[in-house]
């Protein structure tokens, strides 16, 4: 996707893959990785497939599989302004966590 889309404009699949700050939960909870957009808004990047997350974020990016209907819960605990789908992260800004792997929420 080239153009940024908001949650209201997105047709999200029932399950999305979300970048996390670490593959290991802290106190039983995962911390989802937010991104600051050029206009200052805080975005939650989500990916429609695991291969898209790997292609857009790199192989070392920790992730969680999150049911789309639980994204509101994520917003309540860690507020964000917008959801962006399949956002390509520049290589110099990618999380290169050496403890590769995913987690499921």
Tens-digit pLDDT profile for residues 15-33: 999 999 876 766 767 789 9
Residue 13 lies in a domain: yes
pLDDT of residue 10: 66
Q: What's the DSSP call for residue 84? A: E
Residue 104 lies in a domain: no
Residue 58 lies in a domain: yes
Residue 1 lies in a domain: no
**Could you list the residue range(s) of the whole structural domain that residue 71 is in?**
7-99
pLDDT of residue 85: 95
DSSP string, 23-80: SS-BTTB--BPPEE-TTS-EEEEEBSSHHHHHHHH-TT--EEEEEGGGHHHHHHHS--
pLDDT of residue 9: 59
- Number of domains observed in the structure of the chain: 1
Tens-digit pLDDT profile for residues 46-62: 999 999 999 999 999 99
């Amino acid at each position: 996707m080239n153009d940024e889309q908001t949650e209201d404009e997105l047709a999200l699949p029932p399950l999305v893959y979300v970048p996390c700050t670490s593959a290991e939960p802290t106190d039983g909870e995962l911390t989802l990785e937010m991104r600051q957009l050029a206009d200052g808004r805080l975005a939650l990047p989500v990916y429609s497939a695991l291969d898209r997350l790997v292609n857009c974020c790199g192989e070392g990016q920790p992730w969680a599989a999150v049911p789309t209907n639980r994204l509101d819960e994520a917003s309540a605990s860690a507020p964000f302004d917008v959801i962006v789908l399949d956002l390509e992260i520049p290589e110099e800004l990618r999380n290169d966590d050496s403890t590769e792997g995913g987690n499921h929420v």
